[in-house]
């Protein structure tokens, strides 16, 4: 039976997106004998019907390419910037879906995309999502594609910084992406031999971080590498955020929005937090300190072999679920297999690092400090 399939990429760009698009497109051609329809720039392209038919020619040669051939945006269906206003444009997206006579829309993205796709599913559209993000924080899956590539880039950066740190008696603070979870900083810090790893799940005491560095100096170590997740917070700030989160859960209406805006403001100055940390460590240790912010470098370049394999596996599984008529799901990864995870089970959830995770235990075992 022929299936008409639409596809879009939403949220931040991530290595492996093109590999996943290729897997869905080639799988659709083989199983259903049809090309898929790609929508440009995420949900905005779906709203405005900016699309392209992705035949075998368009899918050729994209496996190794970074980014996404469809482009992406962070626009939300129910809060779309139009004419200087935020409007609910879900009805326009439903109209585009009907116009193309789609049987299913495949949405590639992180946690925000899962939530936005679920809104369309509630409007009656057949939706399947594929989990991508370098942050590895999507619930319902062991891993997201994009994470392995970013992990390798961050680890290589730490490797390179070791050589310059070793040449000077200084502290190198490296800010690593990850949003509000520490998977990327923890993995790169452990693989790259960081002496201190700071992640959102373990609020840190800067005095204890400084003490760990001074201890290394007394032992004759001429440098220290501090890997900091962009969402890591000192104890006092983490306490403020926790109080606001608890208030937000109980608040409604304007009060809830006010608290949410306050939380966004606190978290929006992440680079300032890391800069203040760097300066405080210099004062507390009397060691020259330097800050390196890796930023979007971690998202760029060709996907790793592991991410190409993962994206292809997930894309291929997506075709299997379409053939079975299973919709309203995310294609999750469990071990070497894939599973259909109902969207309502993952919307609003985030996969954080358990404080007893094996990576944390291993890091502590080799002497890595977490500032707690």
Q: Which residues are catalytic?
A: 135
* The three-state (H, E, C) secondary structure of the chain, written as one string: CCCCEEEEECCCCCCCHHHHHHHHHHHHHHHHCCCEEEECCHHHHHHHCCEEEECHHHHCCCCCCCCCCCCCCCCECCEEEECCEEECCHHHHHHHHHHCCCCEEEEEECHHHHHHHHHHHHCCCCEEEEEECCCCCCCCCCCCECHHHHHHHHHHHHHHHHHHHHCCCEEEEEEECCCCCCHHHHHHHHHCCCCEEECCCCCECHHHHHHHHHHHHHCCCCCEEEEEECCCCEHHHHHHHHHHHHHHHHCCHHHHHHHHHHHHHHHCCHHHHHHHHHHHHHHHHCCEEEEEECHHHHHCCCCCHHHHHHHHHHHHHHHHHHHHCCCCEEEEEECCEEEEEEHHHCCCCCCCCCCCCHHHHHHHHCCCECCC
Q: Which DSSP symbol is given to 204?
A: B
Helix spans in 4-49 (H): 17-32, 42-48
Three-state SS for 38? strand
What is the rounded distance in angstroms from the CA atom of residue 310 to the CA atom of residue 332?
11
Q: How crowded is residue 355: how many other Cβ atoms within 10 Å of its Cβ?
A: 12
């Amino acid at each position: 039976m022929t299936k008409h399939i639409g596809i879009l990429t939403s949220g931040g760009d991530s290595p492996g997106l093109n590999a996943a698009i290729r897997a869905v497109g080639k799988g659709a051609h083989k199983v259903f004998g049809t090309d898929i329809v790609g929508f440009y720039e995420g949900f905005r392209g779906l709203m405005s019907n900016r699309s392209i038919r992705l035949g075998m020619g368009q899918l050729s040669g994209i496996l190794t390419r970074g980014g996404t051939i469809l482009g992406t945006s962070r626009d939300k269906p129910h809060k779309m910037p139009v004419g200087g206003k935020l409007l609910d444009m879900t009805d326009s997206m439903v109209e585009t879906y009907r116009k193309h006579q789609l049987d299913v829309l495949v949405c590639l993205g992180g946690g925000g995309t899962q939530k936005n796709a679920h809104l369309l599913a509630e409007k009656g559209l057949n939706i399947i999502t594929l989990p991508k993000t370098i942050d590895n924080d999507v619930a319902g899956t062991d891993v997201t594609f994009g994470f392995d590539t970013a992990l390798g880039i961050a680890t290589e950066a730490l490797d390179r910084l070791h050589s310059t740190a070793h040449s000077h008696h200084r502290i190198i603070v490296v800010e690593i992406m990850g949003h509000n979870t520490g998977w990327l900083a923890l993995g790169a810090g452990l693989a790259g031999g960081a002496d201190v790893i700071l992640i959102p799940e373990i609020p840190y005491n800067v005095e204890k971080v400084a003490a760990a560095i001074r201890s290394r100096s007394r032992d004759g170590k001429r440098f220290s590498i501090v890997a900091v997740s962009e969402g890591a917070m000192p104890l006092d700030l983490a306490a403020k955020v926790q109080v606001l989160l608890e208030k937000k859960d109980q608040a409604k209406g304007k009060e809830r929005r006010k608290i949410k805006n306050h939380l966004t403001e606190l978290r929006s100055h992440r680079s300032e937090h890391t800069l203040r940390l760097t300066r405080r460590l210099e004062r507390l240790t009397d060691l020259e300190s330097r800050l390196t912010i890796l930023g979007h470098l971690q998202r760029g370049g060709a996907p790793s072999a592991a991410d190409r394999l993962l994206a292809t596996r997930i894309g291929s599984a997506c075709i299997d679920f379409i053939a079975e008529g299973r919709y309203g799901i995310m294609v999750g990864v469990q071990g070497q297999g894939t599973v259909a995870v109902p969207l309502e089970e993952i919307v609003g959830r985030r996969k954080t690092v358990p404080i007893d995770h094996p990576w944390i235990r291993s890091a502590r075992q080799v002497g890595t400090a977490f500032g707690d």
